[in-house]
């Protein structure tokens, strides 16, 4: 495996060996429950075996449609919110330094819309694509989520205005439910290229389906290697016990810390390529664990930048948080501080050192300081930045959160709390069917 875990900086000072021994059976039971599909939410465990049993026809279709998009478009606009876009963006930003696939004839930019309700953000996209050829990939299972629905309505109108209905239909790709919903009906009527969001895979676990893989393929990345990385991790993890499996060790450690009062987990990186990955992680863990009055609050920081803003709080603030740092052991491109006959004052000690070396020392310095200051630090190590490692990293966190949720006695695969704001918003907008809720909210005002 290209993903490993280092617990050196939590064991002893923050977690005693006996605590691992006492929770071990709970982790094993949770893992068994997940594998045997006997726990709550088991109808949404399609992601568990997906990498190992990937539909080759589906993979070929994703590649064919992505090449079509790349031939005809300068820009692909992915329209979706939450799990419909976070995984794709996480992967694209993570892999931004890898070369395009050999033989590709065009570099196509991937943009994201429908992630918010900002007029300015959508207008910026409209202005940007005005003189470009573009396609749309709208991703939503229900077809009624308000943010992507509005963006799709506006962008589709502009697409038809520019190309006409017949050619516009060749530039719209729909990823939605297999049978029901307005988008499925539209895709069937207009003969759009379309993909299915499987019924047994929730949105936040859908990154290894067409939801995440199509945008990644359009961006020029090797989706077969992403699947291969995930499948190797998934296959190996089946035979590993608590002592060997990185996901189980991660789930166990964070739950011990949670029970000791560390209620916030900060995912920290020292490379901006991981910034969007943290956004994907926050949804995965926040929606999976934050329910029934329980759960670790997921936050993120981008070091060394945030050491100059949030660093003071992490170092000396209230002790209710722990950090999980992602370390890239071989980050790739490196720059060296050259030696000079007239060195810059104060930088002489850096001459001959590389920027990666300096960044690594910054990470270790931060880690030691935070541990000394009373912050437990878990380190997730990845060997390099590649499609193969990305697949492993996705599956590492998905497996861990499934086990972690069961340890904490919650269903990690539903999200009942997400609907509350939607009901209020629909009522305030006087959507048909919400009349009683509308009256209730008006009375509150």
The position carrying tokens 């990644």 is: 216
Percent of the chain with pLDDT over 90: 82
Q: What is the tens place of the pLDDT at every residue in 432-443?
A: 888 887 888 788
Is the predicted pLDDT of residue 61 greater than 70, yes or no? Answer: yes
Average pLDDT over residues 19-31: 95
* Residue the block writes with tokens 């205005």: 161
Say if residue 52's pLDDT is above 60: yes
Q: Which two tokens stand for residue 209?
A: 């389906």
Q: Token pair 């499948």 is at which residue? A: 231
What pLDDT, on a 0 to 100 scale, did the predictor assign at position 337? 84
pLDDT digits (tens, 9 = 90+) for 337-367: 887 755 667 788 888 889 999 999 999 999 9
| pLDDT, tens digit (0-9, with 9 covering 90-100), for 262-288 | 999 999 999 999 999 999 999 999 999
Looking at every residue in the chain, the average pLDDT score rounds to: 93
Structure tokens that stand for 412 in this block = 């990690």
The 10s digit of each residue's pLDDT in 391-423 is: 999 999 999 999 999 999 999 999 886 677 778
Find the range with the poorest average confidence among 60-69, 117-126, 182-191, 418-427. 418-427
Cβ count within 10 A of residue 40: 15
Question: What is the pLDDT at residue 341?
Answer: 57
Q: What is the pLDDT of residue 417?
A: 67
- What SS3 class is residue 435? helix
**Going edge to edge, which strands form the sheet with 377-384?**
3-6, 377-384, 321-330, 264-269, 297-302
Residue 343: the pLDDT is: 63
Q: CA angle, 93 as apex, 396 and 84 as ends, to 5°?
A: 70
What would the pLDDT profile of 202-255 be if each residue is shown by its tens digit? Answer: 999 999 999 999 999 999 999 999 999 999 999 999 988 898 999 999 999 999
Structure tokens at 294: 């329980």
Residue 265: exposure state from Cβ atoms within 10 A (0-12, 13-18, ≥19): buried
In this predicted structure, the answer to whether residue 59 has a pLDDT above a threshold of 80 is: yes
* Structure token pair of residue 50: 């997906």
By annotation, the residues acting in catalysis are 287, 422
Q: What's the confidence (pLDDT) of residue 119?
A: 96
pLDDT higher at 441 or 140: 140
Edge to edge, the sheet with strand 109-113 lists 109-113, 75-79, 134-139, 172-176, 193-196
């Amino acid at each position: 495996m290209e993903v490993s875990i280092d617990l050196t900086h939590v064991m002893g000072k923050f977690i005693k060996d006996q605590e691992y021994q006492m929770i071990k059976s709970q982790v094993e039971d949770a893992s068994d429950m997940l594998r045997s599909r006997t726990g709550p939410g088991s109808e949404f465990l399609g992601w568990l075996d997906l990498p190992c049993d990937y539909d080759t026809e589906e993979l070929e279709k994703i590649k064919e449609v992505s090449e079509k998009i790349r031939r005809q478009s300068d820009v692909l606009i992915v329209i979706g919110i939450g799990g419909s876009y976070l995984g794709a963006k996480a992967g694209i930003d993570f892999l931004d330094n890898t070369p395009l696939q050999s033989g590709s004839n065009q570099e196509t930019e991937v943009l994201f819309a429908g992630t918010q309700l900002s007029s300015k953000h959508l207008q910026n996209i409209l202005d940007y694509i005005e003189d470009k050829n573009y396609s749309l990939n709208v991703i939503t299972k229900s077809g009624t989520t308000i943010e992507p629905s509005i963006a799709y309505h506006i962008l589709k109108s502009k697409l038809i205005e520019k190309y006409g209905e017949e050619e516009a239909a060749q530039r719209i790709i729909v990823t939605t439910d297999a049978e029901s919903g307005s988008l499925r009906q539209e895709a069937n009527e207009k003969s759009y290229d379309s993909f299915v969001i499987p019924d047994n895979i929730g949105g936040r676990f859908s990154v290894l389906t067409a939801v995440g893989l199509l945008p990644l393929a359009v961006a020029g990345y090797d989706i077969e290697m992403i699947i291969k990385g995930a499948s190797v991790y998934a296959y190996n993890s089946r035979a590993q016990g608590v002592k060997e499996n990185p996901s189980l060790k991660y789930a166990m450690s964070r739950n011990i810390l949670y029970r000791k009062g560390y209620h916030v987990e900060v995912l920290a990186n020292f490379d901006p390529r991981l910034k969007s990955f943290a956004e994907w992680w926050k949804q995965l863990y926040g929606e999976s664990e934050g329910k029934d009055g329980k759960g670790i609050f997921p936050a993120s920081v981008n070091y060394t930048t945030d050491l100059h803003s949030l660093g003071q709080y992490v170092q000396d603030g209230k002790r209710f948080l722990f950090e999980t740092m992602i370390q890239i052991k071989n980050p790739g491109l490196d720059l060296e501080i050259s030696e000079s006959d007239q060195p810059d004052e104060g930088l002489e000690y850096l001459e001959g050192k590389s920027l990666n070396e300096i960044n690594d020392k910054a990470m270790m310095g931060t880690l030691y300081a935070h541990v000394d200051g009373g912050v437990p630090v878990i380190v997730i190590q990845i060997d390099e930045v590649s499609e193969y490692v990305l697949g492993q990293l996705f599956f590492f966190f998905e497996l861990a959160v499934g086990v972690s949720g069961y340890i904490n006695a919650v269903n990690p695969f539903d999200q009942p709390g997400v609907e509350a704001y939607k009901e209020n918003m629909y009522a305030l907008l006087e959507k048909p069917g919400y009349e009683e809720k509308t009256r209730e909210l008006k009375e509150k005002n």
